[in-house]
Amino acid sequence: MKKYVSLLILALLLNGCDDGDLTVDTIDFADVQTSASCPNSSTDETAPTLIYKLKTQESLVIQMPANSIKTDATPVGTPLTYDIDNSTYRVLYRAYDGTVAINNICGTIPPRTPNVTEEWQATAGIIEVTSTQVTGDKSATDGSTRITGYNHQIVFRNITFLKPAGPQTEEEFVFGNYTTAADPINLTFTTVPTQCTDKKQVFNFNPTSYMQVNNLDQNLIQQVVGTRSSAITAAANNITYTTFKSNTGTLTSSYFCISPAPSAPAVSTVWNSVVDNNGIVEVTTTATGTTSIVYKHTITIKNVTLKKGNSSFYLADNFVLGTITDAPVTAPTAKK
């Protein structure tokens, strides 16, 4: 009788363990602080993203379509969410009979060893991604800040794993942090700025990006020595900084001052000035010569924050876009 009761209690305990919580066979990567992604060795921008964590003999892998992880912050309290369908959005756990390495996850032809001893596939649930921007220290020279990367906190909600013993569900499973680099920004312009013939835009560019003042206040650039400034608003003097995708064309001066803008090179990101009552465009005009006068206009963008989506950085206290040099003009003849 005691033996029968003992067997019954054991059966109840075993059934109680399979209640949807990963309490018996537990996936535990809490001590693995970093995750990584497989490099995309091709030029195919649509290739899926593989994010993984490794322990000595275990791996935990997330597969998502390209661009599921954004180079942008998510709004507070509004993470990105993706339904696990075991097709385009997958979560896979594996245990091995030896030491697992990156090539076992990312290799085009995975090594023959170690062997997989157990595999759990997620069949349902939600992948939740909360992204925050990582900002570097403020420059002591010009007050500027730059985004150095993004931190993505990944959590699985109500995830169901199909394991050898049957399905099990976890209400909340913290995958952990995944970091990505920031969009490349090159604010070094070695050419001189140009004003479009309609005088509404002034721009400067380099091979990968350009900065432009739009709807320029017409009183700023004139052949009068002195310094003039005008506020950056939604309607006037607003700043755009645009970057381009690599290998999509060459950026030249012919790209500008036409509408619509050319399709090549292909635009990657567009940053716009924030209207916060702080930003101004300042133009300082100087003149040289007596009979033939050359006017030069130095354009400085002051106290501007640039924003893309939910990400932003402070351009600088004073950012010199460059100096426009007018063609020489003949000085007026003095009246006798």
* φ/ψ of residue 255, rounded to 5: -70, -25
Residue 326 backbone class (left: φ over 0; alpha: ψ -120 to 50; beta: rest): beta
Q: What is the pTM (predicted TM-score) of this model? A: 0.86
Structure-block tokens of residue 285: 């005009």
String of b and e for 178-192 (b: at least 16 CB within 10 Å)? bebebeeeebebeee
Residue 2's φ and ψ, nearest 5 degrees, are -60, -40
Secondary structure class of 326 (helix, strand, coil): coil
The DSSP code sequence of 286-301 is EEE-SSEEEEEEEEEE
145, two tokens: 């800040």
Q: Is the dihedral of CA 133, 137, 142, 143 positive or negative?
A: positive
**Domain boundary assignment for the chain:** 26-181, 194-330
For the stretch 92-140, pLDDT in tens is 999 999 999 999 999 877 788 899 999 999 999 999 999 999 999 999 9
User: Tens-digit pLDDT profile for the chain (336 aa)?
Assistant: 333 323 322 332 333 333 333 333 689 998 998 899 998 765 677 889 999 999 999 999 999 999 999 999 999 999 999 999 999 999 999 999 999 999 999 987 778 889 999 999 999 999 999 999 999 999 999 999 999 999 999 999 999 999 988 899 999 999 999 999 999 999 999 899 999 999 999 999 999 999 999 999 999 999 999 999 999 999 999 999 999 999 999 999 999 999 999 999 999 999 999 999 899 999 999 999 989 999 999 999 999 999 999 999 999 999 999 999 999 999 877 665
